[in-house]
A and B are shown apart, each in its own frame.
Chain A
Amino acid sequence: MKKYLIISLSIFFFTKGATAQINTNYLFSDEAPSMWNTNPASLGNEKVFVGLPVLSGIDANAVHNGFTYDDAITNDQVNIASTIEQLRDENDIMFNSSFQLLNFGFRLGQWHFRGGAQQVISTRITYPKSFMELAWKGNGHPDLIGRRLDFGGFAVNAMAYTDYFAGFSRQLMDEQLTVGANIHYLQGADVVYTEQSSFGLTTDADTYALTADGAFILRTTVDEDALDSISADHFTPFNGANSGFSFDLGAKYRFLEKFELQASAMNVGGIRWNRNAQSYTLANTSFTYNGVDLESLVDNPDSTTSQLEDVLDSLATSFEPVEGVGAFNAPSNARFYLGFGYEINKNNHLMLTAAHLRSFNKGFNSVAAMYRHRFGRILWVRTGAQLFQLDQFLWPVGLTINAGAVQFGFGTDNLIAAFAPTKAGVFTGHFQIGLRFGRDGKIKKE
């Protein structure tokens, strides 16, 4: 039993590093048609690209940015205190995946058109450091007593939807500038969305009086008993429920022959959830427990139990959320990229990128430096370094293989996880396969 418990906890905690769809690998990697997932201004190097149905692309990652296995366990010694000490104020556990169901694109002169569909699942559970401190140290510990323990980051978010998209890009200014856009029709399946979460616990250093405060808004389409019974109807295309839209906008600008500037805003929009939409709202509330009232205790020595029951009733009443029914909006997880590329020569490229990634209204920043090398006409290899949340080192690696008309691509945002999982534990993986026809003339000559 203990083993399973630890494994379960490990699944939640012992991964660390990246977040959803950083996709550092793709940016500036115009050898891969899927680049329009990070910048719709991408043209691709072929006239026609068709991803294999269902298998055309898989992108999955699991993230925990709180601590690593090695942080927590050294020589079989579980370092709970030091592990908690190094936690962020808010720590995120995220699982994200996208499965390309259909993916195709083609060029017409200076235009490129594309379309497809993908299944997207995003989750983020956030827990605050102060909550773990409270559990380990207790509210009476000198480090915690007398200050408000902020549990505001507590959040549970999950969203599943099908993304139908179409877009274009076009070269302008004698191919110096490329602009592009995608539009996504999002059909939501189910969602749990923590729109607001603010909780705190204060233990008065003088009197030990406990004050709990909080406010939250939780919106969902999932019934309490429906977590394991997501209906296939939820995925019926264009069923009219839980519809939303998002947009991608991007531009690439090449200058001085070897330099390129890129910017893109991806998946900016949201879904209006209207099927079985429910809300649980707790307005700003505060509750203080000072102990048993001495006067009542003197008057009625047996009143301790009843007083405690009264307190618990009051507490439950104070923190009882108001249930509501009605459609609500939840934002899509937008991404914003800014990149600068330098073409050393035709086979070697350098890229610097900065990204801001949204996950259920919470932002994550990242910067990366990537190097790409082409081996002949078949193989592209990419590697580099990434600082996720500007303080965690990741080692992104990827490659693309062009085998005739068939193109494979795979990679990870953190190779460290592959050979030293206890130190990093970011488990991201990308896989793509597709068919390319009518590859670009310049490519052929090279």
Chain B
Amino acid sequence: MEKKTNLLQKTKAIYFLILAIVVLNSCDVDNLKYDNWKPVIAVPLVYSDFDVYDILNRTDSLNELLVVDEDGLLALNYKGELFSFTLEELLSIPDQDYSRTLDFTGVMATSIDADAGASFSDVVDFPLEIDPQDARVDDVVFMSGDVLFSYTIIQDEVFEGNLTFENLVDQNNQPLSFSINSNGVLLGETVTETFDLSGARLSPNFDGTDNQITLEFSISISNNSNHTATADEAINIGVDLSNIQIDYITGYFGQLSINTDQDSVRIKIFDNIINGTFALEEAFIDLTVENSFGLPVDFSLENVTSFNLETGEEIELSFPTDLGLDGQSTLGGSPEEVTFSFDNGNTNVVDLLEPTPKVIYFALNATSNPNGPPPPGEFNFITHDSRLDVGIDVLLPLKGYARDILLIDTLSIDIDFDEYEEVDSIEFKIRTMNGFPTTGEVQIVFLDELLSPLDSLFETPSPIIQSGTVGSDGIVTSSTETTQLITVNKVKADNLSNTNKVVVMAILNTNNSQSEDIVRFMDDYRLQLNLGAKIYGNIEVE
């Protein structure tokens, strides 16, 4: 067996011997000359296949949604709450108090010391403080709140009695009443008693100016033989209303004026756009109102203005005023829901977006009871959960044209090409397959740290993206391929080696935008992008 194994080794040796003889007799390997090795290596660097959602969602905020109609036409839809008012912002009952000191007269003091006794008995009104003060309150039911009743004995006699709110009833519809008893009460000590107003109802008497709360008190005084009554202060009583939360309130609240500060809606899609024209064929703005206040309101949007922060250009929307609301019809009923729609027919809404605004400003003015008090038998009402919500729903069908939309971004970047002697040059290839009706030209300028230009990517801005072929209906019928080659050789690399910043500029135009051709953005558009590189090697073979 050993011999057989050796045969294998002999075989290998013979092969080697034969071939080595051939080679060694044939060449002087040290003197061989070689051509330079010049391989061309192609590598894909970056790819992407965008659809319209990828592109627009990347620039939009959450309240900017893409919607698509039954034909596939895309629209930007901005939804949000413009303004919102609640009961607290219209009407409130602040903390308030009422106090009164009762004095003995000389007759009363004599009668007391003679053990004949005396009494205080009266009915008094004190005004309910309410904001606005001229509001007429028919009824107010409290969701929460406190009534604090207190009394302080000033003269050391025997007091006994009670205090009753004639127009404030508890949950059982019983007038609210507090008792007074000096037995065991130290002189000068304030005795308090608190009542929870939850569920209590106040029905003040409106005297044409104020809403009066009526108190009735009755206090009998008997003699303390250790004390001599004098004609002076005898007892102090007080009432505090605090922490009032209204469950609902009825009455007539007057012509309240509601003015908001200027608010804004941000249009993020235009964030990086410096300049250009963005014209839509149509646009729709819906103001959606949900009103659960039981009172009529007229309101209007004021100063609706789009504003381009870069250019200062602004467009003001001509908006109808005095949009009327009737108010919720019945207490406990359903809120009033109204939508006010605006389009090309009643506003210049399409102009609003023309300057590629980043923000649109709004302000709201509203007036309640514009026609004065309600007819007899009717009243205003507001409940604790009443709201006046004004929402906005902007629908921008992407059908129009965009012209010379300029985007500029500056990036800090240090470019440092390593010395690769084996690389002769690198040819970058940008290839797009564009199914959008948009042409894009790009230029990149390389700056040093003093912001002086070093070089540019192209001699002139070059089309990276060519518009897809657009049919007469403004819809892209086929994609267009665009290829750009960018060669970086050693000279270019040297130029760029001190780069500190790059300025990326892009100009976007929809198809034939100079002629204001209308294009449509459909939901099946796609943009494929590929960036690849060919590395041209030049390697010396030794």
Q: Do A and B bind each other?
A: yes
- A residues whose Cβ falls under 8 Å from a Cβ of B: 2-3, 6-7, 10-11, 14-15, 54, 60, 62, 69, 73, 76-81, 95, 97, 99, 101, 119, 121, 135-141, 145, 160, 162, 203-204, 206-210, 230, 232-233, 235-236, 289-295, 297-298, 417, 421-422, 425, 427
Which 5 residue pairs are nearest across A and B when measured between Cβ atoms?
A: A140-B42, A138-B39, A208-B532, A294-B48, A291-B44
CB pair A422 B5 closer than 8 Å: no
> Besides A209-B532, A235-B5, A289-B44, 5 other CB < 8 A contacts?
A7-B24, A60-B15, A206-B530, A209-B47, A291-B47
Name 20 A/B residue pairs within 8 A (Cβ), A-sorted: A6-B27, A10-B19, A10-B22, A14-B19, A14-B23, A60-B14, A76-B32, A77-B35, A78-B541, A119-B4, A138-B40, A140-B535, A141-B40, A208-B44, A209-B532, A230-B5, A235-B1, A290-B47, A293-B47, A421-B21
- Please, which residues of chain B bring their CB within 8 A of the CB of A79? 35
CB pair A140 B32 closer than 8 Å: no
* Candidates B15, B27, B32, B48; contact of A95 at CB < 8 Å: B15
B69 contacts A by Cβ under 8 Å: no
CB pair B26 A294 closer than 8 Å: no
**Binary interface encoding of chain B residues 2-39 relative to chain A, with 1 for a CB under 8 A from any of its CBs, else 0:** 11110110010011101111111111111111110101
CB pair A119 B45 closer than 8 Å: no
CB pair A230 B8 closer than 8 Å: yes
- Please, which residues of chain A bring their CB within 8 A of the CB of B530? 206-209, 290-291
- Please, which residues of chain B bring their CB within 8 A of the CB of A294? 46-48, 529
User: How many whole Å from A203's CB to the nearest CB in chain B?
Assistant: 5
User: How many whole Å from B52's CB to the nearest CB in chain A?
Assistant: 14
B533 contacts A by Cβ under 8 Å: yes
CA separation between A137 and B35, bound complex, in Å? 12
User: How many whole Å from A220's CB to the nearest CB in chain B?
Assistant: 17
CB pair B34 A207 closer than 8 Å: no
CA separation between A34 and B10, bound complex, in Å? 22
B79 contacts A by Cβ under 8 Å: no
- Please, which residues of chain B bring their CB within 8 A of the CB of A235? 1, 4-5
CB pair A208 B533 closer than 8 Å: yes
User: Number of B residues contacting the other chain (C-beta, 8 Å)?
Assistant: 57
CB pair A80 B534 closer than 8 Å: no
B54 contacts A by Cβ under 8 Å: yes
> In the complex, what residue of chain B is closest to A294 when comparing beta carbons?
B48
CA separation between A401 and B47, bound complex, in Å? 74
- B residues whose Cβ falls under 8 Å from a Cβ of A: 1-5, 7-8, 11, 14-16, 18-35, 37, 39-48, 50, 54, 58, 429, 431, 481, 483, 529-535, 537, 541-542
CB pair A11 B23 closer than 8 Å: yes
* Candidates B15, B44, B58; contact of A290 at CB < 8 Å: B44
* Candidates A62, A78, A203; contact of B42 at CB < 8 Å: A203
- Please, which residues of chain B bring their CB within 8 A of the CB of A60? 11, 14-15
- Please, which residues of chain A bring their CB within 8 A of the CB of B537? 138
> In the complex, what residue of chain B is closest to A53 when comparing beta carbons?
B3
CA separation between A204 and B28, bound complex, in Å? 42
- Please, which residues of chain A bring their CB within 8 A of the CB of B31? 76
CB pair B3 A54 closer than 8 Å: yes
CB pair A208 B33 closer than 8 Å: no
Q: A14-B19, A69-B23, A99-B7 known; A78 and B32 CB under 8 Å?
A: yes
CA separation between A137 and B32, bound complex, in Å? 21
> In the complex, what residue of chain B is closest to A190 when comparing beta carbons?
B8
CA separation between A28 and B45, bound complex, in Å? 64
CB pair B30 A207 closer than 8 Å: no
CB pair A292 B47 closer than 8 Å: yes
CB pair A236 B43 closer than 8 Å: no
CA separation between A10 and B20, bound complex, in Å? 8
User: How many whole Å from A19's CB to the nearest CB in chain B?
Assistant: 15
User: How many whole Å from B19's CB to the nearest CB in chain A?
Assistant: 4
CA separation between A280 and B420, bound complex, in Å? 40
CA separation between A236 and B2, bound complex, in Å? 10
CA separation between A62 and B18, bound complex, in Å? 9
- Please, which residues of chain B bring their CB within 8 A of the CB of A160? 8
- Please, which residues of chain B bring their CB within 8 A of the CB of A3? 29-30
Among B5, B42, B429, B532, chain A packs the most CB atoms within 10 A around the CB of B42
CB pair A208 B27 closer than 8 Å: no
* Candidates B39, B431, B531, B534; contact of A137 at CB < 8 Å: B39
* Candidates A54, A135, A209, A427; contact of B18 at CB < 8 Å: A427
CA separation between A235 and B23, bound complex, in Å? 34
CB pair B7 A119 closer than 8 Å: yes
CA separation between A209 and B44, bound complex, in Å? 5
CA separation between A298 and B58, bound complex, in Å? 10
- Please, which residues of chain A bring their CB within 8 A of the CB of B22? 10, 14-15, 69, 417, 421-422, 425, 427
CB pair A73 B42 closer than 8 Å: no
> In the complex, what residue of chain B is closest to A142 when comparing beta carbons?
B40
User: How many whole Å from A198's CB to the nearest CB in chain B?
Assistant: 23
User: How many whole Å from B479's CB to the nearest CB in chain A?
Assistant: 13
User: How many whole Å from A85's CB to the nearest CB in chain B?
Assistant: 13
CA separation between A32 and B334, bound complex, in Å? 117
User: How many whole Å from B139's CB to the nearest CB in chain A?
Assistant: 59
User: How many whole Å from A333's CB to the nearest CB in chain B?
Assistant: 16
